[in-house]
Structure 1
Amino acid sequence: MRDVTQTPDEETPYECFECGTVVTAEDNPGPCPDCGGEMRNRQTPVE
């Protein structure tokens, strides 16, 4: 995780685990606007 460079003021893509909707936001956008599912930061690897 330490090799990922993130700028806090930069918009990053978030993807819904349930339906795959992608939104860009500076902070975690909360639940998916389409289905209410959990969003994840696409720049963070999934283990």
Structure 2
Amino acid sequence: MRDVDQNPTEESLYECFECGYVVVAEDNPGSCPDCAGEMRNRRTPIE
């Protein structure tokens, strides 16, 4: 696995763990605007 270069000013895709809602944002939006589930950065691998 390779490391992903993170650029803090670059927008990333965030996906909800619960419903799959996707949003583009510079920072983690916290909770899903659709179902209030936890959001994750899709560029960050899940282990």
Q: TM-score, normalised by structure 1?
A: 0.92
2:13 equivalent in structure 1? 13
Separation in 1 of the partners of 2:2 and 2:45? 11
Separation in 2 of the partners of 1:5 and 1:32? 25
Q: TM-score, normalised by structure 2?
A: 0.92
**Pairwise CA RMSD:** 1.5
Post-superposition Cα deviations, 1:1-47, rounded to whole Å, max 9, x if no partner, equal 87210111010000000000000110110100000000000000001
Identity %: 77
1:26 equivalent in structure 2? 26
Q: Which runs of 5+ in 1 are unaligned?
A: none
Q: Which runs of 5+ in 2 are unaligned?
A: none
Separation in 2 of the partners of 1:29 and 1:40? 9
